[in-house]
Copies of this chain bind each other. A is one copy, B any other.
Amino acid sequence: MIRVTVWNEFRHEKTDERVAAIYPDGIHKTIAAFLDTDEEITVRTATLDEPECGLTQEVLDTTDVLLWWGHLAHHEVPDEIVDRVQESVLKGMGLIVLHSAHHSKIFKRLMGTSCNLTWREDGDMERLWVVAPDHPIAQGIDRYFDLPHEETYGEPFDIPEPDKLVFIGWYEGGEVLRAGCCYRRGRGKIFYFQPGHETFPTFKAHWVQTVITNAVHWAVPESRIALLECPNVTNPEPRF
């Protein structure tokens, strides 16, 4: 079983009626619900206002893949929680970073860049093109899929060159974005996926659910290790 934890800031849903109408129990519950239909996945959720943001060491140690949605309150996530999540990723935990979490502390920490981009909230149609049709995250998708309305995110997107670019987003109003990007940091796999604005039912869209489910399967660690330290070693012994 793949042990998934879906983390959500869970603030918009309590204060913005438009968001509450789409995600009455929170974005995390919607994501958890569709992942839960996969027989190989078992899901928990965690949110900002729980103790330790719901991300105790015990939770992280028993999480294979963590999903992260945040927007308004990135700065409220304590640095010690960010340290803890980073260490888990470097040890092997997968991390899927959704939409406005491009500006989360944990994503910026792992990328080393500002992760800035341009944005417009005009509800453009978005088309997501598969540029790596052989990649596990693109399986089951044809050349592209569409979302009737999304927030527009545009280049330049200040990220390191992805290890693998899987999707490019095309927006009706004229922008493009590297919208699905794979990275490895330490032993952990990271996938950034652009769709998921809180005022649209993006996480209820069939193809978005396909991509996120694929990404969970892809991000499962090959192995988990105690964080590699920086050991003073002796001359290596033969190992035939």
Contact = CB atoms under 8 A, between A and B. Distances in A.
Interface of A: 86, 90, 92, 103, 109-114, 116-122, 127, 129-136, 139, 142-148, 154-158, 160-161, 163-165, 168-170, 173-176, 178, 183-189, 205-207, 221-223, 225, 227-236, 238-240
A155 to B, nearest CB: 5
Given A148-B240, A161-B184, 20 more contacts: A92-B134, A109-B112, A116-B230, A118-B230, A129-B155, A129-B175, A131-B156, A134-B222, A134-B223, A136-B222, A143-B236, A147-B240, A154-B236, A155-B168, A160-B184, A161-B164, A161-B165, A163-B164, A168-B176, A174-B235
B236 A175 contact: yes
Copies of the chain in the assembly: 4
Q: Which of A122, A148, A176 has the most CB of B within 10 A?
A: A176
